[in-house]
Structure 1
Amino acid sequence: MRVTCPIREGAQRHPEAEALRFMGQSWTYRTLDAEVARWTAALEARGVGQGDRVALLSTSHPMVTFLFWALGRVGAVFAPLNARLTSAELQPLVDAVAPRLTLALDSLGDRLSGSLSLESFPEAATASPTPLRAWEEDTPRVILFTSGTTGRPKGAVLTEGAFRASCRASAANLGAHPSPRWLGTLPLFHVGGLAMLTRTAYEGGCLLLHERFDAEAVNRAIDTEGASYASFVATTLERVLDARADRRLPDTFRFALIGGGPVPTALLTRARAAGLRALQTYGLTEACSQVTTERPDEADGRTAGPPLPGLEVRIVGTDGALLDVGQEGDVEVRGPTRMAGYWNQAEATNEALHDGWLRTRDVGVLDERGRLTLLSRRTDLIVRGGENLYPAEIEAVLANHPAIAESAVVGVPDPHWGEVPVAFVVPRPGHPLPEDLDAWCRQSLARFKVPTRFVALETLPRNAMSKVERTVLRRQAMS
């Protein structure tokens, strides 16, 4: 199927509708289309064309959106790099994609040798009258590097069709909206950030772009800028509620998608009391963001919901055999949002993709209603004396302790049991490490699942994707 640039379509259908907002600046579809045309001309002047890769090191900024849509118009592939990485970490990623062009914000340019200034890149360009080309849905649009918590990052290739299918699936679950306004607080080098960028364009909505998460700014966008959707993790959701002192949200705000792990029951109750409808989700880069999400009329916070419309999820054993409802095993995903493969890594691609299914390397279980409960990454699984322990299950118990803000559980070697769980916990402000954590866990967990140690931290180490860096915690536990 052939499609065209949604920004140009928006400029033709509703030119004065707001398409993008950032720090008090606003672009309509007409003015955004003109800006994208200018960036398209700048790319063409540099000889960037079909299939070329363009690497970018930047925080979230309107220029990233101009570049993203301009790359689509010339048929090039966007390779955004994690703005929190060091020069030593970035260089292998650049080498892997072999970009025709490398751009960086001036403030980050010293980390990327040979990069051109993003700010000055289009200065001499003028909009080109060249007619727009149509895109095939299987055209690669983005190479997104996975976070690398379990090894060297791999570049997942996501197509135009995958982004459009992700938009359709999410919209089918959330319900019709005449002009959705997504809060863009996730970085644009993250699949979640790009999902919001593309969804608003495909649906004729507006992206309320933020350079970074700030609870006060989020609440202003909710209260005064008509934000209708947002994506949070438990800790950012709590910060939003704290900052607004639990004031009720306006009716213009519809749903918040919640990812990143278990959410305390008390926090969900608090959110509902403030009129914030939270839907738990499960997703991954290789499936172009969301895979499962709670249905709005069935959300109870107990699972990550069923697959989005058009997607399939199944649970298989380590031998690949299909498992029944209630049986724990590896999560596999099938549908049009699946990645095309890993960039220039045939062996890794063949390991991940088989018979139309994506092996996620996550461990989960489906209930009788097809709802997914995620238990752990396969590599995070803790095997104690032959028994499988899932960090998410233990973390969910700790999350409900009134003095614990967040936690992470890792396995460490043990001469008797093979592995034992150690829990790292972040106490809430003003609370010391609770002395009753062992007893608290024993109320809900079998004895062998209870952590052997509880270690207090001020914060959990996280990467730029907000994922807990468990390898760092394992090293700390072992030392």
Structure 2
Amino acid sequence: MKPRDMGVLFDECAARGSRTTVHLDRPFDLAPERGTRWTVPGLAALVRETAGMLAAAGVRPGDRVALVKQNHWDYDLLACAAVRIGAVPAQLSARLSGEALVTLLARLSPALLVTSAQVLARARREGTDPAAAAGTTLVLDAEADVPGTLGPDDVRGHPAPPPVRRGEDRPLIINHTSGTTGVPKLVTHSTRTIIGELARFESVRYPRIGVRREDTLLNANSFAHGRTFCWTASTLCLAPAEIVLVTGPDPDLADPLLRTHPPTLVEATPATYVRLRPLTERLDNPFRDVRLFVSTYDAVHPPTVRAYLTASRHRAPLWMQGWGQTETGPLTFRFHTRASTEEGRGPGSRNLGRPVPVKTRLRVVDPDTLRPVPRGRPGVVLARTRARALGYVGEEDRWAAKLLGDWWNTGDIGRLRRDGSVELLDREVDHGPGLSCLRAEDVLEERLPSALECLVLSGAEGPPLPVVVTADGHLDADAWRTATHGLPPLAAPVALTWDQVPRTDTGKVRRTVLLRQLTGTAGTGGSGRWT
């Protein structure tokens, strides 16, 4: 089975007899009283029930429904419920600042905002009111009494309207970009782009990397992003034995669930892999049966990849690293093995592999002339794919500025190698002369075992600023001198703890914000023309 209509996805999988069992690390915010174990027929019933709630709140076909809540997979259940009644869901992270959130809501003009009392309270403490930007607001907390909003009891118990079908090229879902350099963009995808071109491509039992019926899949992701909506479509159709959902990066909270249901396939954000890495060193670690690890969103440096591949007892585990954007879906992929991640071997995290076969083409151009450059020379990476989104909500000129005919400007600096793979050097906005920040970060993480993460920030003036993230926020001076041997000149390092670093919902570092926080200036090495 391959996904078609997200509004009835769970119904169709249940009707085909799916025996997948879903295990949660905490109950859904959408159904807090119903526990942490679900079947596909139970999920289908919850989606229908939610569709009735949204309709009772006044949502009609064509309306936009904004979803802003704590991280959990019910982001996608809410989205499917909205799709079922003909609305267009917009999934927004609860980690957005109040200012960014109301900016995005103003662009959306949603008929309904589905949120939590916690999100509203935090935004109001910051001097903003998300509820004022929506026609109606539904607060999911049953015990909350927020004046001027609806609660679950106000809309519960209403039957779901019949499913509304939409054309393949009509707007299906809206997701925002990571927002590392400012207010995120709102990206609109259609059924053809995110389901037809992406989810159906993944709904195949490929040798070695495909989902098997006996698999236990772990997803520890940011569920407000389009990647998990696509993952939900393909995974439900492939019907593994078990799905395990982890909503936070605390290893002590995740460990009991993972020990009870040890995964065979894992997908997580790079930041979550870093945070859960201590589990790989524990006796009887929960990753012992994993044959495939999948990472997207951001670079994962070699020491982290090596730790997980070593933790697996599978004969030949693989790490699949994907590179893409919210606007395009995956563009390239590559595989890491135990041998390729041995210290001193391989091209590190900066080599992103080859374009997705048949789906994607890449070109590197001069950033000033936009003319193609020879292989091996760095430039701005352009991509051509049929999965490209429909546009940005409320920022049509910004979208048009990133198009060059059929080609999409990724805003990344890289080079095409002779073997057809692409080597990523930096985001254009972060790129400075004479240094690849990403390459330097690879080297530093290899040489500093105590570092959770290493960052190199390129500003408009002076040498790049290195930031070393450690458990206690301290860095040994002798270890630092040894680690920087042979690297280009760097400023004096700054040591921080994980929580002191500003991040997006997917754990990406907001480099511009961090640079301003540490230096008082937001000037960057690049132009930022294609952010």
Aligned partner of residue 400 in structure 1, secondary structure:
helix
Counterpart residue identity of residue 105, structure 1: S
**Is the alpha carbon distance of 1:361 and 1:426 closer, same or farther for their aligned partners in structure 2, counting shifts above 3 Å?**
same
Establish whether residue 395 from structure 1 lines up as the match of residue 441 from structure 2.
yes
Question: Partner of 2:344 in structure 1?
Answer: none
Question: Partner of 2:194 in structure 1?
Answer: 163
Establish whether residue 441 from structure 1 lines up as the match of residue 518 from structure 2.
no
Counterpart residue identity of residue 263, structure 2: A
Deviates more, 1:34-43 or 1:430-439: 430-439
User: Where do residues 74-473 of structure 1 align in structure 2 (5 Å cutoff)?
Assistant: 74-110=85-121, 111=123, 112-114=130-132, 115-119=137-141, 123=153, 124-126=155-157, 128=159, 130-164=161-195, 165-170=197-202, 175-179=209-213, 181-205=216-240, 207-233=243-269, 236-245=272-281, 247=284, 252-259=289-296, 261-275=298-312, 277-288=318-329, 290-295=330-335, 300=340, 302=348, 303-309=351-357, 310-318=359-367, 319-383=369-433, 388-402=434-448, 403-414=450-461, 419-427=462-470, 432-438=475-481, 440-443=483-486, 445=487, 449-459=488-498, 460-473=501-514
**Is the alpha carbon distance of 1:31 and 1:299 closer, same or farther for their aligned partners in structure 2, counting shifts above 3 Å?**
farther
Q: For residue 73 of structure 1, report the CA deviation from its aligned partner.
A: 0.9
CA deviation map 1:249-280 (0-9, x unaligned):
56753322234655443443332221263222
**Is the alpha carbon distance of 1:436 and 1:265 closer, same or farther for their aligned partners in structure 2, counting shifts above 3 Å?**
same
Q: For residue 53 of structure 1, report the CA deviation from its aligned partner.
A: 0.6
Task: State whether residues 270 and 507 of structure 2, in contact with CA within 8 Å, keep that contact through their aligned partners in structure 1.
Answer: no
CA deviation map 1:44-80 (0-9, x unaligned):
3334233211112101335433311111112211112
Deviates more, 1:57-66 or 1:73-82: 57-66
CA deviation map 1:12-66 (0-9, x unaligned):
1015433564535222221211121112222233342332111121013354333
**Is the alpha carbon distance of 1:91 and 1:397 closer, same or farther for their aligned partners in structure 2, counting shifts above 3 Å?**
same
Establish whether residue 10 from structure 1 lines up as the match of residue 13 from structure 2.
yes
**Is the alpha carbon distance of 1:133 and 1:228 closer, same or farther for their aligned partners in structure 2, counting shifts above 3 Å?**
farther
Establish whether residue 474 from structure 1 lines up as the match of residue 519 from structure 2.
no
Aligned partner of residue 370 in structure 1, secondary structure:
coil
Deviates more, 1:169-178 or 1:265-274: 169-178
Counterpart residue identity of residue 254, structure 1: R
Equivalents in 2 of 1:66, 1:338: separation in Å? 24
Q: For residue 341 of structure 1, report the CA deviation from its aligned partner.
A: 0.8
Task: State whether residues 274 and 452 of structure 2, in contact with CA within 8 Å, keep that contact through their aligned partners in structure 1.
Answer: no
Task: State whether residues 270 and 295 of structure 2, in contact with CA within 8 Å, keep that contact through their aligned partners in structure 1.
Answer: yes
**Is the alpha carbon distance of 1:235 and 1:349 closer, same or farther for their aligned partners in structure 2, counting shifts above 3 Å?**
closer
Counterpart residue identity of residue 163, structure 1: I
Unpaired runs of at least 5, structure 1: none
Aligned partner of residue 131 in structure 2, secondary structure:
coil
User: How many residues of Structure 1 are paired with residues of Structure 2 in the alignment?
Assistant: 466
Counterpart residue identity of residue 113, structure 1: A
Equivalents in 1 of 2:203, 2:258: separation in Å? 20
Counterpart residue identity of residue 432, structure 1: L
**Is the alpha carbon distance of 1:261 and 1:346 closer, same or farther for their aligned partners in structure 2, counting shifts above 3 Å?**
closer
Equivalents in 2 of 1:345, 1:250: separation in Å? 43
Cα RMSD (Å) of the superposition? 3.1
Q: For residue 364 of structure 1, report the CA deviation from its aligned partner.
A: 1.4
Question: Partner of 2:78 in structure 1?
Answer: 67
Counterpart residue identity of residue 300, structure 1: S
Equivalents in 2 of 1:230, 1:12: separation in Å? 27
Equivalents in 2 of 1:184, 1:105: separation in Å? 23
Q: For residue 199 of structure 1, report the CA deviation from its aligned partner.
A: 2.9
Equivalents in 2 of 1:47, 1:429: separation in Å? 50
Identical-residue share of aligned pairs (%): 25
Equivalents in 1 of 2:263, 2:514: separation in Å? 36
Counterpart residue identity of residue 463, structure 1: T
Counterpart residue identity of residue 253, structure 1: V
Q: For residue 392 of structure 1, report the CA deviation from its aligned partner.
A: 0.7
Taking structure 1 as the reference length, the TM-score comes to 0.86
Q: For residue 162 of structure 1, report the CA deviation from its aligned partner.
A: 2.7
Counterpart residue identity of residue 334, structure 2: E
Task: State whether residues 102 and 116 of structure 1, in contact with CA within 8 Å, keep that contact through their aligned partners in structure 2.
Answer: yes
Counterpart residue identity of residue 150, structure 1: T
Equivalents in 2 of 1:220, 1:139: separation in Å? 43
Q: For residue 345 of structure 1, report the CA deviation from its aligned partner.
A: 1.8
Counterpart residue identity of residue 360, structure 1: T
**Is the alpha carbon distance of 1:57 and 1:250 closer, same or farther for their aligned partners in structure 2, counting shifts above 3 Å?**
closer
**Is the alpha carbon distance of 1:78 and 1:125 closer, same or farther for their aligned partners in structure 2, counting shifts above 3 Å?**
same
Counterpart residue identity of residue 12, structure 1: A
Deviates more, 1:194-203 or 1:368-377: 194-203
